[in-house]
Amino acid sequence: MRHNKKFNHLGRTASHRSAMLSNMATSLIMHKRIVTTLAKAKALRVYVEPIINRAKEDTTHSRRMVFSKLQNKYAVTELFQNISKAIAERPGGYTRILKMGRRQGDDAMMCFIELVDFNEDRKTENAAGAKAAAPKTRRSRRKKTEEAAEATAEA
């Protein structure tokens, strides 16, 4: 029975699952966005967010704790030098999951998982969207029909 077993085992042994999540976390930190299945992305979010949160404080202890999870010194360097500066003020929610649809072969739900502060498309879209949204006015068809009725009445 699986009473009170909260996390998804992903059909793997514990060692395989931890190695997979470590490799996926390293890829996410290095590339800022990866494509994976929805179940793996949800498991990765639970795994990687505490690691990113620990990177806010750059101490030897926190570096060693992060390295014990990632096992990649280049990913640790990237996390502490670049990512930690971008997420310094953010209280949590460092990743975003965007669904893509289903995979052709096995109908698995696919998605992007990305670091929130590193999506350049969303940054420019939000900045442009806020500026473009302000001057928009509501257009009504009533004015045209009223003006047309007035023009025909005058004629």
Give me the CATH code for the 14-118 domain, please: 3.90.1030.10
The C-alpha angle 43, 47, 53, rounded to 5 degrees, equals 140
Query: Average pLDDT in the 99-113 region?
Result: 95
Q: What is the pLDDT of residue 68?
A: 96
Residue range 17-73, pLDDT digits in tens: 999 999 999 999 999 999 999 999 999 999 999 999 999 999 999 999 999 999 999
Residue 133 banded pLDDT, cuts 50, 70, 90: low
pTM of the model: 0.76
3-state helix, strand, coil in the chain (%, to 5): 60, 15, 30
* Cβ atoms 80, 55 nearer than 8 A: yes
Domain boundaries, the chain: 14-118
The mean pLDDT of 130-139, rounded to a whole number, is 60
Q: What are φ and ψ of residue 33, in 5° steps?
A: -160, 135
